[in-house]
Amino acid sequence: MKVPLSGPDITELEIKYVNDVLKSNILSIGPVIETFEKKVAEFTGTKHAVAVNSGTSALHLIIKSLDIKDGDEVITTPFSFVASSNCILMERAIPVFVDIDPYTLNMDMDKIESKINKNTKAILSVDVFGQPMNMEYINCLAKKHGLKVIEDSCEAMGAEYNGVKAGKMCEAGVFAFYPNKQITTAEGGIIVTDNDNLADLCRSMRSQGRPITGLWLEHERLGYNYRLSELHAALGVAQMERIDEILKKRDNVAHMYSSRLKHIKEVTVPYIDPQVNRTSWFVYVIRIDEKIDRNKVMQYLLESGIGCRPYFTPIHLQKYFREMFGYKEGDFPITEQVAASTIALPFFSNLREDQVEYVVEKLQEAIKKCSR
Ligand SMILES: *Cc1c(COP(=O)(O)O)cnc(C)c1O
């Protein structure tokens, strides 16, 4: 049996909407992107949504819009996909890392304030593996010190903390739509915000710095081509119409795993903060006891046709971060300890029960073979 790590959930509806665009003759800057943006804004409960060609582009435009630049410091997590720090480097600002909480795997709240100084401009929090952060607390800290808050919810679309949707309680939030995310546009991302000015700036910069209303060859500011095509937006519209169904299917898969894995003493299943009243599963990441050789377990799973991955390599230990900032092993010990123990198991909305059973069976065999 082969079980891939991830896969999109595409139905006849997505195919129809994409075909409709192909037949419409408008392939970019048309009505479908507006429909997609409206659906996402309604879903999140924000005034605006601005769709772009990737989650990374979305983060970059927010950094630009908030005028974060050379030498400014932005507090963030080293345990994330690298884009959440790259967007800061793109404007020559400095990511300042805070070690994580070993349970939620998000930034450790108690370690944030000591990193704030006169150069700090913003907190960029990441909802890791779909678990939203306590944004009320982050906002309090930000208000006290005059900082902006950006929420990278690229992994958390649909999750709710204390009844508030991920991405909503901040200056600007971001979702991403690469095929392994909860919903996909193949490639794509979106900025959600209540701030009119920030939304306008992002709309202008995603399309070569053109004014929102104005002539095609008029350019008010440095911009980019970060536009999302109508084809991609059509995929997004169909996925948004199905998002509740998709999140429910992902919930089911997570429960199939958890009910089978929680009895295995060498395995720690994902922890969910009790304040999270709606989960949104991005990946299913387990942690393996340190007495077991994690890399050997992964090797065994791969040889058994099971996709798996060590989510994440800590950002501060990536080659160019070491070179730029002199980071080394031991700088963020909890992040490093967690990163050395994780395995992302196959996870997508159409994963079948027999596939989950096969993964669990092979995982148990691997654990028996791989104790140190
Ligand atoms: C997926 C993801 C992004 C954006 O990725 P793109 O591939 O640029 O869409 C950003 N931050 C995090 C934490 C992510 O998981």
Ligand 1: residue of 178, 206, 311 to mutate (most ligand atoms within 8 A of CB) is 178
Q: What is the mean pLDDT of residues 194-215?
A: 93
Q: How many whole angstroms separate alpha carbon 297 and alpha carbon 368?
A: 9
So what's the pLDDT on residue 321? Answer: 98
pLDDT tens for 48-98 read: 999 999 999 999 999 999 999 999 999 999 999 999 999 999 999 999 999
* Listed residue (237, 191, 171) closest to 48, CA to CA: 191
C-alpha 93 – ligand 1 centre gap (Å): 19
Strands 94-97 and 267-268: unpaired
Q: Using 50, 70 and 90 to split pLDDT, how confident is the model at 181?
A: very high
Q: What is the mean pLDDT of residues 238-255?
A: 98
Report the nearest-CA residue for atom 5 of ligand 1: 55
Which domains, ranges and CATH numbers included, belong to the chain? 12-241 (3.40.640.10), 244-369 (3.90.1150.10)
* Residue 212: how many other CB atoms lie within 10 Å: 11
Report the nearest-CA residue for atom 2 of ligand 1: 154
- Asked if residue 342 lies in contact with residue 310, where contact means CB atoms within 8 angstroms, the answer is yes
C-alpha 359 – ligand 1 centre gap (Å): 26
So what's the pLDDT on residue 49? Answer: 98
So what's the pLDDT on residue 73? Answer: 98
Mean pLDDT of the chain: 97
Q: Report whether pLDDT(317) > 80.
A: yes
Higher-pLDDT residue of 371 and 308 is 308
Ligand 1: residue of 59, 62, 100, 152 to mutate (most ligand atoms within 8 A of CB) is 152
Q: What is the mean pLDDT of residues 226-236?
A: 98
Higher-pLDDT residue of 214 and 312 is 312
Report the nearest-CA residue for atom 6 of ligand 1: 55
So what's the pLDDT on residue 293? Answer: 96
C-alpha 155 – ligand 1 centre gap (Å): 7
So what's the pLDDT on residue 8? Answer: 97
pLDDT tens for 122-165 read: 999 999 999 999 999 999 999 999 999 999 999 999 999 999 99
So what's the pLDDT on residue 218? Answer: 84
Q: What is the mean pLDDT of residues 213-233?
A: 91
Q: Using 50, 70 and 90 to split pLDDT, how confident is the model at 215?
A: confident
So what's the pLDDT on residue 279? Answer: 92
292's CB contacts (< 8 A; 6+ apart) are: 266, 367, 370, 371, 372
C-alpha 176 – ligand 1 centre gap (Å): 6
Q: How many whole angstroms separate alpha carbon 225 and alpha carbon 352?
A: 40
* Listed residue (347, 343, 338) closest to 281, CA to CA: 347
User: Does the predicted TM-score (pTM) go above 0.95?
Assistant: yes
> Does 151 sit in the ligand 1 pocket, CB within 6 Å?
no
Q: Using 50, 70 and 90 to split pLDDT, how confident is the model at 337?
A: very high
pLDDT tens for 258-288 read: 999 999 999 999 999 999 999 999 999 999 9
Q: Kindly state the percentage of the chain with pLDDT values over 70.
A: 100
Q: Kindly state the percentage of the chain with pLDDT values over 90.
A: 97
So what's the pLDDT on residue 344? Answer: 98
**Mind giving me the DSSP string for 312-347?**
---GGGSHHHHHHH---TTSSHHHHHHHTTEEEEP-
pLDDT tens for 97-122 read: 999 999 999 999 999 999 999 999 99
> Does 84 sit in the ligand 1 pocket, CB within 6 Å?
yes
Closest atom of ligand 1 to 127 CA is 13
Q: What is the mean pLDDT of residues 41-53?
A: 98
CA distances from 97 to 15, 84, 174 (A): 42, 11, 20
Q: How many whole angstroms separate alpha carbon 227 and alpha carbon 235?
A: 15
Ligand 1: residue of 53, 56, 235 to mutate (most ligand atoms within 8 A of CB) is 56
**Among 129-143, 210-224, 293-307, which stretch is predicted with the lowest mean pLDDT?**
210-224
Q: Report whether pLDDT(214) > 90.
A: no
